[in-house]
Amino acid sequence: MMKSIKEVSVESKILKRLQNNPMCLELVNYLFNDAELQEMQDYANNVSIKRLGYNDHGPVHMRQVTANAIKMLNILHEAGIPTSLEAEEIGSFEDSMCAIILAGLMHDLGMMIGRQGHEEMSVILAKPIIERAAMHILPDDLHRRTVVKSVAIEAIIGHMASRKIHSTEAGIILIADGCDMAKGRARIPLAINTTPKVGDIHKYSASAIDRISIHRGEKKPIRIDIEMSAEVGFFQIEEVLLTKINISPAKQFVELYAGVSGQEAKCYL
């Protein structure tokens, strides 16, 4: 099972962010070494880039979304803000973290089939892996397996901002997905596709995004800063990321700033 340098790099970032969470470390190591999941992620990327001409929806993207979500959930935890499972007293922070890990690493598996309705297809394709991964980390706890699986599926099916979601966990995945829009994600399709087609604006706008940072905010717990090289990047922010943040149950915890390098950043939230 060969992995790219970028995949290994993002995996290292994920492992570092989970160093104080043994159960979640066990889960990501299980998933990182799952040959079937790797093949599915690779094939989803083949369909996305080579067949459909879209940007990266493969193993690097799914790992980066997971890394983003883990960072945001950790920031909320450090700020004393409970997840939905914690607030409802039906699950733990670890359960919430496991759910977003499962969702992050599998939310785009439906791209194996195609773009239309891929979030629903992702649920169908991910469900068997979610079930065996949950059994691996929680073999004797049906309640926790049920809760983790349910939140993971909500996050997967809600990641396109096309339906109402209700948990903070699913809302974090929604925002984490929108945050993976830097120029590296558009590099491959821009290199292999030279004829303009529907959807190219997403690739060109993403190519203008130089840097995205997620860190502790000043007015709200989470701050997202976006630096771009050209104003076309505002399309990606306003049509993709902001759309997702606006319907996310986690919107109340996020402040968003974006601007062209050398100019004053615009405050969106």
pLDDT tens, residue by residue, 120-152: 999 999 999 999 999 999 999 999 999 999 999
- At 139, the amino acid letter reads P
**Rounded distance, CA 162 to CA 118, Å?**
11
Q: How confident is the model at residue 182 (pLDDT cuts 50, 70, 90)?
A: confident
pLDDT in tens, 197-236: 555 556 567 788 999 999 999 999 999 999 999 888 898 8
Is the pTM higher than 0.75? The answer reads yes
Question: From CA 140, how far away is CA 136, in angstroms rounded?
Answer: 10
What do you get for the CA distance between the two ends of the chain, in Å?
42
Cα angle 229, 230, 235; round to 5: 120
CATH number at residue 121: 1.10.1300
Domain that holds residue 89: 5-267
| More confident site: 85 or 186 | 85
pLDDT for 216: 97
pLDDT tens digits, one per residue of 12-51 = 999 999 999 999 999 999 999 999 999 999 999 999 999 9
Q: H or E segment at 222?
A: strand 222-228
Calculate ∠ Cα 137-146-58, nearest 5°. 65
Q: Are 182 and 258 in contact (CB under 8 A)?
A: no
Total number of domains in the chain: 1
189 torsion bin: left (phi>0), alpha (psi -120 to 50), beta (else): alpha
pLDDT tens, 44-58? 999 999 999 888 899
